[in-house]
A and B are shown apart, each in its own frame.
Chain A
Amino acid sequence: MRIALLVTCLNEALFPRAGMAVVTVLERLGHTVAFPPEQTCCGQLHANTGYAAPARELERHTEAAFAGHDVIVTPSGSCAAHLRAHTELPVYELSELLVDVLGVTDVGARFPHRVTYHPTCHGLRMLRLGDRPQRLLRAVSGLELVDLPEPEQCCGFGGTFALKNPGVSGAMLADKCANAVSTGAEYLAAADNSCLAHIGGGLARRPGAPKPVHYAEILAGTGAAA
């Protein structure tokens, strides 16, 4: 299958490894990945901060950049949710593509580590990903998946919320980090690098805490630590 990758602006700017991991996984499964070069940002940040007009321009820009592609994948639950709500583009979050469209749960990965999974709000409540990411992770050889306490609790990121309401965001982050540390996991995985940047930034200040990792990078792994 020919699949177009929407890497997302945040991943392009800060976390290219998530995009590379999606390419690695899909090519390993025998698919062809395209990278439409005009893509930049889906408009989610603008829309959620209250800027409807620039958001619409970016949504139109994204539609044009992906015109003609029948299957689009993105390693971001929130961007997938935004585009699905505001455009006609056939966008899938990675676990939806793998489990629902391609019908795979075992992607042939190896990652011999204790991992806990944080189901991000957009994945949980807007896309209704359910346990698709966890099913993919459980099929990874050597991986031990441990439960995160209070998984459905928001981490406190919320885009510009983290900057506009730093106190509340920090309090929510502290609770999420404490729950993550309590699992004793080596890695905390999630489906959105925005939430992971926030949680990971908090975990970095806590000794012995799990390291943040996009679950696509785990699915891309074949042995060594990410």
Chain B
Amino acid sequence: MSRHLPIVAVTPFPAAAAHELKDAQLRANLGRATRTIRDKRARVVAEVPDWEELRERAARTKDEVLDRLPELLARFERAAAAAGASVHHAADAAAANAIVAELVRAQGADRVVKIKSMATQEIGLNEALAEAGITAIETDLAELIVQLADDTPSHILVPAIHYNRSQIREIFAARMPGFSAESDEPAVLAGAAREYLRRTFLSAEVAVCGANFAVAETGSLVIVESEGNGRMCLTLPGTLIAVVGVEKLLPRMADLGDFLRLLPRSSTGERMNPYTSVFTGVTPDDGPRRLHIVLLDNGRTKTAQDPVGRAALRCIRCSACLNVCPVYERTGGHAYGSVYPGPIGAILSPQLTGQDAGANSSLPFASTLCGACYDVCPVKIDIPEILVHLRQTGPKPAAERAAMATLSWVMRDRRRWRGALRAARTGAVPLRALTRRRGGTLRRAPWPVSAWTAHRDAPLPPPESFRDWWRRTHAE
């Protein structure tokens, strides 16, 4: 059965955004939440004197990974296998889902506990497991909220950012077995979720996780989290399955330090995250007895071939770019039609899937190129540059292509250009008289200028051109 991949937008961004913009509550929730995180981030980043050098070095490390990808993957696989892990390769989402379902079935389990992971969201693992008769239970608080609400995440790090706490209480009351609290105090809500999850952890036989980093040198996986649910998943169940995008590699264990400094400050605005788990293979009488690592490609190798676009694969999913993005702040994550929203989503989704997938070619246009994302990205991904690159390589409407070609032709010659300006000034003469009382701007206009005047007045060409003025005042 074919499902829509969770990284393929069904609706073009402008239409999806228009829908989200109607929700005033959503915009208020988002505005408040993103402002809080971005102020926190700015404060703790300012404390690090060598922040720029850290970014530089991290970007270089990630570029080294992309340059040496096949070699480092082989190295990781050898080291992980030597430590007792089983390594699997998945070319695409379907392959990865099939491998995981088979591994769960082999344990005779019909339930898995999960740590929040973008890779498993990207492949739609929960839905695929459900089709195979396996229930996946999210154990991260925000993921749990979204899962109980039958919704999809709207932020990489804060999947339930679009809900406020009274909305969350309502979701719990309706969907969480045994929930009866009247209060929407964060502590009460978190306590209820903890009770519910603890029962689940203790009975789970299989856990599924992703990884923030995979160290090629040692075959280790690294998971960074805040709630301790990850620790539970990594240590209690007998079987652990990790789905890891191939770009998560780091060449050496010594590279990890830079990233552990960059990630928490960029993502949650904390100096350090509460839980960092580094684990290598299996250890007798400690933690899971079986560790399976599914290395996921799903468009990554192809993306790594693009000399400009490949920098998107440096991403460590910190979501700082979402929190500063003025477009994301207005629309929220759902408008991007992908588990990767915001600026990183606009460059990653179309590259992983190819721009011909669904409405993904509309995503690189979902930006004003304001550059706020590039400024905060801890691995220095020049997101505006990649957005422009994808606009240049992606499909465009025929009428626009023709108009742009004509405009460029007119502008490549001073006489044609002056002729066009003169025509515009002549056309504006009657309009100027009509709009004088309002200061000479146009409030309503026929298509295509109507797209402009829907939200703002349009300026009119001036009575005297710059060139005429120059000739009048500077003629020799």
Interface of A with B (CB < 8 Å)? 7, 9, 11-17, 19-20, 23, 35, 37-41, 45-52, 54-55, 57-58, 61, 121-122, 124-126, 152-154, 156-173, 197-198, 200-202, 204-205, 211
Contact = CB atoms under 8 A, between A and B. Distances in A.
**Top 6 closest A-B pairs, CB basis?**
A158-B368, A201-B456, A50-B391, A54-B408, A170-B455, A154-B370
Interface stretch (B44-52, B158-166, B274-282, B461-469): B461-469
Contacts of A45: 407
27 contacts: A9-B417, A12-B467, A20-B469, A40-B417, A47-B392, A49-B404, A50-B391, A50-B394, A50-B396, A54-B404, A54-B405, A54-B407, A61-B411, A121-B369, A122-B371, A125-B371, A158-B369, A161-B368, A164-B14, A167-B14, A167-B18, A168-B330, A172-B327, A200-B459, A201-B441, A201-B459, A204-B438
B421 to A, nearest CB: 6
Contacts of B374: 125
Interface residues of A, dominant DSSP: helix
Contacts of B394: 50
Given A162-B452, A198-B456, A204-B439, A13 B461 contact: yes
Contacts of B469: 16, 20
B227 interface: no
Interface of B: 13-14, 17-18, 21, 27, 326-327, 330-331, 364-372, 374-375, 388, 391-392, 394, 396, 400-401, 404-405, 407-408, 411-414, 417, 421, 424, 438-439, 441, 443, 448, 451-462, 464-467, 469-470, 474
Given A168-B21, A201-B457, A204-B456, A126 B371 contact: yes
A121 B462 contact: no
Interface centre among A50, A122, A170, A198 (most CB of B within 10 A): A50
Nearest to B394: A50
Given A7-B466, A202-B455, A204-B439, A165 B392 contact: no
A167 B17 contact: yes
Given A153-B326, A173-B456, A40 B412 contact: yes
Contacts of A200: 441, 456-457, 459
Contacts, number: 182
Given A57-B408, A58-B412, A14 B459 contact: yes
A37 B475 CA distance: 13
Contacts of A173: 455-456
A47 B388 CA distance: 7
A69 B1 CA distance: 65
Contact of B327 (A51, A159, A168): A168
B411 A58 contact: yes
B11 to A, nearest CB: 13
A126 B370 CA distance: 9
A189 to B, nearest CB: 16
Contacts of A197: 458-459
B197 to A, nearest CB: 37
A45 to B, nearest CB: 8
Contacts of A202: 455-457
Contact of B368 (A40, A49, A154, A170): A154
B464 A125 contact: no
Nearest to A167: B18
Contacts of A14: 459-462
B459 A16 contact: no
A5 to B, nearest CB: 9
Contacts of A152: 372
Nearest to B451: A163
B74 to A, nearest CB: 37
Interface centre among B330, B411, B456, B459 (most CB of A within 10 A): B456
B392 to A, nearest CB: 4
A170 B443 CA distance: 15
Contacts of B452: 162-163, 201
A44 to B, nearest CB: 10
A125 B469 CA distance: 33
A177 to B, nearest CB: 9
A46 B404 contact: yes
B449 to A, nearest CB: 9
Contacts of A54: 404-405, 407-408
B456 A205 contact: yes
A16 B464 contact: yes
B466 A16 contact: yes
A14 B327 CA distance: 28
Given A35-B474, A51-B404, A125-B371, A165 B366 contact: yes
A200 B466 CA distance: 21
Contact of B414 (A37, A48, A52, A169): A37
Contacts of B14: 164-168
B17 A40 contact: no
Contacts of A19: 466
A136 to B, nearest CB: 22
Contact of A170 (B372, B417, B454): B454
Contact of B462 (A16, A166, A167): A16
A5 B337 CA distance: 45
Contacts of B405: 51, 54
Contacts of A125: 370-372, 374-375
A13 B458 CA distance: 13
Nearest to B414: A38
Nearest to A16: B466
Given A125-B375, A165-B17, A197-B459, 12 more contacts: A9-B417, A12-B465, A35-B467, A40-B412, A46-B408, A54-B407, A160-B365, A168-B17, A168-B366, A173-B455, A200-B441, A201-B459
